[in-house]
Structure 1
Amino acid sequence: MSQLSFISKIPINKGWSCDKKYCVTADDGVKYLLRVTPEEKSANRADMFRMQRQVADLGVSMCKPVEFGKCDKGVYTVQTWVDGKDAEEIIPHLNDFEQYSYGLEAGRILKVIHSIPAPENQPDWEQRFNAKIDRNIKMYNDCLVKFDGAEDIMAYIESNRFLLSNRPQSYQHGDYHIGNMMIEKNKIVIIDFDRYDFGDPWEEFNRIVWCAQASPMFASGIINGYFDNEVPLEFWKLLALYISSNMLSSIPWAIPFGESEVNTMINQAKDVLSWYNNMQNPIPTWYIK
């Protein structure tokens, strides 16, 4: 399997990925993260590894790709081990200044990630995202669980679809939020690049909801760090559109995972509607300039 030989292998049972994950120790005592992807899910893993290399070459603080190959269970990737703690366990307990500083750092890192352009042949963003919105609306309409205020979200979507035209596209981490960050030696380290995509860089902020629920200071820092404190109004309007689209699909997505996940998403919808004053104000109430 790997060029490295491992003397120990401890399974990690965390996250939503289909990968089997292990903390492995090589014979020189160095720890790594080993991810094994089953054959049927492995199609994009070589591309994922290649893109992670590109990100790492930009000096981003992240779990760095070390090795990729085939094995009898599918494909495997070896990445550097992050010897830190989960950001979502640490950041909410820090003082405001520290929460905000980590946010600034995460925002600046995201800006660097987005400096990688999308491939030339990338399909048009407006068409692609409108199709996604249509799917999300249908999923919500077909789903038995409803939440109060969904009609306000749908009305906001319909009157703001025009914002999707002529948006640039770049590489996206695909799941950029506090749950995919760790703190190691007082630095933010980004993990879990397995949902990477190419699209409007501003769409990447749709997961900021999780950051804002954990720490409004941290979430504000991400946005201010990314925009160097000059946040355009058009960004807020588009972000509200992206979050709205996500909210509609989040309930049907949660149903197979059981009642507690559904409740998490219904509570999140409540939070979103209160932050945006039922979609009347594109700048959320948690944002601190």
Structure 2
Amino acid sequence: MNFISKIAINKGWSDDKKYCVTDQNQQKYFLRVSDKEKLDSKKYEFDMMEKVAFLRVPMCKPISIELCDDEVHSLHEWIDGKDARETILTVSKEQQYFYGVEAGRILQKIHSLPITEVREDWEVFYNRKIDDKIFKYKECPVQYENGQTFIEFLNANRELLKDRPQVFQHGDYHIGNFMIGEDGEIYVIDFDRFDLGDPWEEFNRIVWSAQVSPSFASGMIDGYFDYKVPDLFWKLLAIYILSNLVGALPWAVPYGVEEIAVMQNQAKEILEWYDDMKQIIPSWYLIEKKAE
């Protein structure tokens, strides 16, 4: 396919190059360019995206994937719209909540895809991950104000990881990876961090959503569970959020003081949500429930 224009999209943390391309018929597409070493991974990602699209999930539907010289080119439908993170606060809290419910239902569909293989036992895998994050955190030159509280909670609740199922995960499911289309619908984007794991681990990045819009984050949980949230979810959510948080500070150090400050502020906020880990449901969800 020949394109008459190619505009770079400089957003996100991905190593891939992203473009808005236009063909001779003025039709726009989304083009993702990856290193050829990623070919197998990108083919699997493309295949899974096709399966997700078949479930009628609103997304940049995949069109084609090919190896061009030393690059993998994957072409997708283009969505006219704006980043949800930048536009969500321009709509009412009720609409924010509705978008969250839709995001939760989309995630439920993604998790319904059959997979042919899983990781090793989830409890073994994730406990090793926690151990590694705690070790790196303790070696880190900077610390969270009450970091030991997070570590104690993780160590006290590890047994909850036992017998967890595994599914195909989007891998980076938060408000920064949604768009609000010009049609007013919400679309999920960026599947390039896909993974396999506990379906509830997928909520580990809900922190970013709750910081922007508690209504959206609350709706996402309600939509996923069809308004019947199991008690166990809240405990596992806390484990996954805190595990991410403990691992994020050592990650932030090479990026400098600004990223370190972002994570330290997030740690303070999370501690407030959980009342120093004395309550298991984050306060932003409780506040939204009381407001209904």
Are 2:118 and 2:197, in contact at CA under 8 Å, matched by a contact in 1?
A: no
Distance 1:162 1:54 in 2: 34
Matched, 1:17 2:14: yes
Q: Deviations over 1:199-231 (max 9, x none)?
A: 100000000000100011110000011111111
Amino acid at match of 2:178: M
**How far did residue 30 of structure 1 move?**
1.0
Matched, 1:149 2:146: yes
**How far did residue 115 of structure 1 move?**
0.4
Q: Deviations over 1:1-54 (max 9, x none)?
A: xxx211111111111100111110012211011111123444411111111111
Are 2:171 and 2:202, in contact at CA under 8 Å, matched by a contact in 1?
A: yes
- Relative to the length of structure 1, the TM-score reads 0.96
Distance 2:115 2:235 in 1: 23
**How far did residue 258 of structure 1 move?**
2.0
Distance 2:93 2:119 in 1: 40
Say how many residue pairs are matched.
286
**How far did residue 128 of structure 1 move?**
0.9
- Match of 2:194? 196
Matched, 1:274 2:272: yes
- Match of 1:172? 169
Q: 1:97 to 1:265 in 2, by over 3 A?
A: same
Q: 1:103 to 1:121 in 2, by over 3 A?
A: closer
Distance 1:176 1:81 in 2: 20
Amino acid at match of 1:238: L
Greater shift, 111-120 or 247-256, is seen at: 111-120
Are 2:58 and 2:186, in contact at CA under 8 Å, matched by a contact in 1?
A: yes
Q: Which runs of 5+ in 2 are unaligned?
A: none
Distance 1:121 1:133 in 2: 19
- Match of 2:229? 231
Quick one: which of 65, 68, 76 aligns to 1:68? 65
Distance 2:99 2:206 in 1: 14
Q: Percent identity between the aligned chains? A: 54
- Match of 2:113? 116
Are 2:60 and 2:76, in contact at CA under 8 Å, matched by a contact in 1?
A: yes
Are 2:177 and 2:190, in contact at CA under 8 Å, matched by a contact in 1?
A: yes
Amino acid at match of 2:127: N
Distance 1:121 1:143 in 2: 32
Q: Which runs of 5+ in 1 are unaligned?
A: none
Distance 2:246 2:129 in 1: 11
Matched, 1:97 2:91: no
CA-based RMSD: 1.1
Greater shift, 247-256 or 231-240, is seen at: 247-256
Amino acid at match of 1:82: I
Greater shift, 139-148 or 253-262, is seen at: 253-262
2:278 match: secondary structure: coil
Counterpart mapping for 1:120-131 below 5 A: 120-131=117-128
Quick one: which of 250, 253, 262 aligns to 1:252? 250
Are 2:122 and 2:161, in contact at CA under 8 Å, matched by a contact in 1?
A: yes
- Match of 1:81? 78
- Match of 1:181? 178
Are 1:36 and 1:73, in contact at CA under 8 Å, matched by a contact in 2?
A: no
Amino acid at match of 1:209: V
Are 2:118 and 2:196, in contact at CA under 8 Å, matched by a contact in 1?
A: no
Amino acid at match of 1:120: E
